[in-house]
Amino acid sequence: MPAPFASLDAFRSLLQTLPQPDAAARAQALARDAVLTKPAGSLGRLEEVAQWVAAWQGRAQPRIDHPLVLVFAGNHGITARGVSAFPAEVTGQMVANFRAGGAAINQLARTFGARMEVHALDLDRPVADFTAQAAMTEAEVAASLAAGWNAVDPAADLLVTGEMGIGNTTSAAALACALFGGTAADWTGRGTGVDDAGLALKTQAVAEGLALHAGATPLEALRRLGGREIAAMAGAIARARTERIPVILDGFICCAAAGVLEAEVPGALDHCIAGHQSAESAHGRLLQALGKVPLLSLGLRLGEGSGAALAIGVVRGAVACHSGMATFAEAGVTAG
């Protein structure tokens, strides 16, 4: 269905009426786990993950048959400040690579049976440099939220959102700091691999943006400091909640997008799990702010949804064990 909002106020109102997990399905999943042919607790976090999926899918024996990976791309005016190791034209070049099937995310999506789509958002019109003015108008941020919302297929049973946008770790750092406090240095990392001078430029840009846009509400901070691809991820994650689709969060930029929803309405990310902790220096801090414990920690810092796509395997494994294992009664095994 088309996005049921055309303004930040309408989107804010939508977030106040999000569906909740199915407590009965979770209880039934917990009861099933107790009689599966394994010692109690022996599958560790896989048991928790399976019960989480059950609660959002509303069935005691959940399935993951149609995972979806959505990659959103956008360009940032802040790149003119020298905050990235790569030029802005790389965003469009990588979109072409995604569409040709040549990126890491293509391989991971294929490996774990996920359908992948790429959505390029006005790459010829970078959002404004947030150190000089708001990154987006209200119409632009609402359109980007709607692009993410509309990209979600309601038939999906697991969602990963990824991004591509040269300069977007700078935007994400500013947004995370605006949402959760601290200093620019607390949240600014090396992103695609800037040197010490580049890191200093990034940190200064984040500090200037925060000073210019101080006091903004979470959604207003998204408008002022974010990017189209960041807003689109937030829109897609919110749509997944309305469709009761579990979400695997990716790295620092994805979690900054998700953090807007959580800061606006606590509990808005209950349908989300952290796929991994990346090597971006502030990602662990952001996960703590969101109350999320990552499934994986492999030193990844690629973005694209790659760490979350890798975690699809963990979630599928958890669900397969929970829903496919025999009970003690079915197997004729004597319970301890």
Q: Is 303 left (phi over 0), alpha (psi -120 to 50) or beta?
A: left
> Cβ(103)–Cβ(260) under 8 Å?
no
Decide if 304 is catalytic.
yes
CA 170 to chain centre: 17
Decide: helix, strand or coil at residue 123.
coil
Burial 76-92 (b: 16+ CB within 10 A, else e): bbbbebebbebebebbb
Question: What torsion do the CA atoms of 124, 128, 134, 139 make, to the nearest 10 degrees?
Answer: -10
Q: Of residues 229, 262, 264, 304, which has the active-site annotation?
A: 304
Find tokens 């109350």 and name the residue. 291
189 closest CA partner among 76, 283, 73: 283
Q: β-pairing, 272-274 with 247-249?
A: parallel
In our burial notation (b when 16+ CB lie closer than 10 A, e otherwise), range 242-252 reads bbbbbbbbbbb
Tell me the pairing of strands 115-120 and 247-249. unpaired
Which residues are annotated as catalytic? 304
